[in-house]
Amino acid sequence: MIFLISVLVSAGSVGIMWLYMCRVSADRNGWFKLAERYRLQEPFEGTRYGLQSAIFNGFAFTGTLNLGVTERGLYLRGGLLLRAFHPALVIPWQELGAGRFERSHTSGYALTFAPFPEMSCELSDATIQRLDQGIRREWSVSPPWRSEEAS
C-alpha cells in the first residue's frame, strides 16, 4: 500500500512539474503574448503538418509543434504535451516577415511578427518546403519567405 501511494505521489509530482515547466516556457518564449492577439477561436481548416520543429525565441521545439497553412495565415499549435499552455494560433500572412538564415548545420527562414519585432520563429528549409506545398495545393497566397526581401 505504501508503495502504491509513493508511486502515485511521484507521478503527481512529475505531472505538476511538467505543467509548471510548460507554463514558464510559454511565458518566456512569447507564446502567451502571441496568443493574446492571434489565438484561434474556431476549428482549424487548412493543411496541417504534425511533429514539426522550430526555434521560437531561442526555445527549441523539436518535433513538438503542429504547423499549418490557410489562406488567412500560418497555423501554430503546441503538440499534445504542450497544449495546456500553447494554444492554437493563426498569424495573418500580412503580419509576418521573413529573413534568411544560414548556419553550418542548417538553413531556413526566421519569421518575424509585425506587432512584436523582438520575437522570431526559425523554420528550417525542409519545414518551409512542406508549408509551401500545402499553400500551392490549396491557395494563391504569397507567404513572406517568397518575397525578394527574404532572400
CA distance to 32, 74, 142, per residue, from 29 (Å): 8, 18, 27
Query: 14 versus 4: which is more confidently predicted?
Result: 4
Stated as kind and residue range, the H or E segment containing 78 is strand 73-78
| C-alpha to C-alpha distance for 14 and 94, rounded to whole angstroms | 41
DSSP letter at 42 equals S
Give the start-to-end residue ranges of the domains of the chain: 28-150
Using alpha carbons only, give the angle 87, 93, 99 rounded to the nearest 5 degrees. 100
What does the pLDDT look like over 21-44, one tens digit per residue?
A: 555 565 566 787 898 999 998 888
Query: 6 versus 43: which is more confidently predicted?
Result: 43
Reading the block at residue 134, the C-alpha cell is 500545402
Angle between helices 31-38 and 2-28 (to 10 degrees): 70
pLDDT-derived band of residue 71, with 50, 70 and 90 as boundaries? confident
17-31, 36-50, 103-117, 132-146 — which is least confidently predicted?
A: 17-31
| C-alpha to C-alpha distance for 139 and 103, rounded to whole angstroms | 31
Using alpha carbons only, give the angle 106, 60, 130 rounded to the nearest 5 degrees. 55
- Report domain 28-150's class: mainly beta
